[in-house]
Structure 1
Amino acid sequence: MIPCALLLCLLHAIMAENRLVSVDFEVFGNVQGVCFRMYTEDHGHSLGLSGWVKNTRQGTVIGQVQGPWDKVSDMKHWLKSVGSPSSRIDRAVFSNERDISKVEIHGFSTRY
């Protein structure tokens, strides 16, 4: 017999794996002119995520990411601590995180 605590843990892991989320982001630092958007788009594609990325007039990069919770979590980590090879990330802010029933954006693109 499997203990209830273990069953709950397994059920939570399965539910989290199937959970779809959407999150907005803004990345601060030296993130323009260093191929940050291109690397963000490529990394989003590699994780199978949907979304978009765009430079702002304030020198930041903004965007939105949608997909499975665990993959979006991986992307959030990448945005706040990895970025493009020549970038310097001072901080990343995530907002409007919400559950979604289906992906609302198809593909990952750079907006201008």
Structure 2
Amino acid sequence: MCVQRVVLLCFVLTMSDGGSAGTQLLSVDFEIFGHVQGVCFRMYTQKQGLQLGLVGWVKNTYSGTVVGQLQGPAPLVEDMKLWLSREGSPSSRISRASFSNQRSIDRLELCGFTTRF
């Protein structure tokens, strides 16, 4: 069900101009610091992104952080930023969340929410 909703969201938002319905689309990169590897952080991030109807990707880094990119309607991106900053996976301990390269986009540049390796 979630995957179908994301595919539909991808189609609808890429076929529209992103602003005609009053919905600004955002893209933002993130890096999460703390105890975020080995605690299913990527899986929970992917699940949360799909539940919110966002598109993006997430992956571990060699330095022990988790990085990724989110795209979608501005209010949902902001909800996901709060989730990444405060909640994460049940066993994670987030010490800091960094968000960069936030920008408005006309169309989604990604589809689905993937885990990269």
Q: Same fold (TM over 0.5)?
A: yes
Larger Rg: 1
The answer on 1:26 being equivalent to 2:18 is: no
Gaps of at least 5 residues in structure 2 are: 1-18
Identity within the alignment, % = 62
1:51 alignment counterpart = 56
Deviating 4+ runs (over 4 angstroms): none
Gaps of at least 5 residues in structure 1 are: 1-13
1:3 alignment counterpart = none
The answer on 1:68 being equivalent to 2:73 is: yes
Q: 1:108 aligns with which of 91, 95, 113?
A: 113
Superposition deviation, residue 43 in structure 1: 0.2
TM-score of the superposed pair, with normalisation by structure 1 = 0.85
Which amino acid counterpart does residue 46 of structure 2 have in structure 1?
Answer: E
- Distance in 1, Cα, partners of 2:112 & 2:64: 25
The answer on 1:96 being equivalent to 2:101 is: yes
- Distance in 1, Cα, partners of 2:25 & 2:53: 12
- Distance in 1, Cα, partners of 2:96 & 2:114: 22
Superposition deviation, residue 23 in structure 1: 0.1
TM-score of the superposed pair, with normalisation by structure 2 = 0.82
| SS at 1:18 equivalent | coil
| SS at 2:83 equivalent | helix
Q: CA RMSD in A?
A: 1.6
Q: 1:81 aligns with which of 75, 86, 93?
A: 86
Question: How many residue pairs align between the two structures?
Answer: 99
| SS at 2:46 equivalent | helix
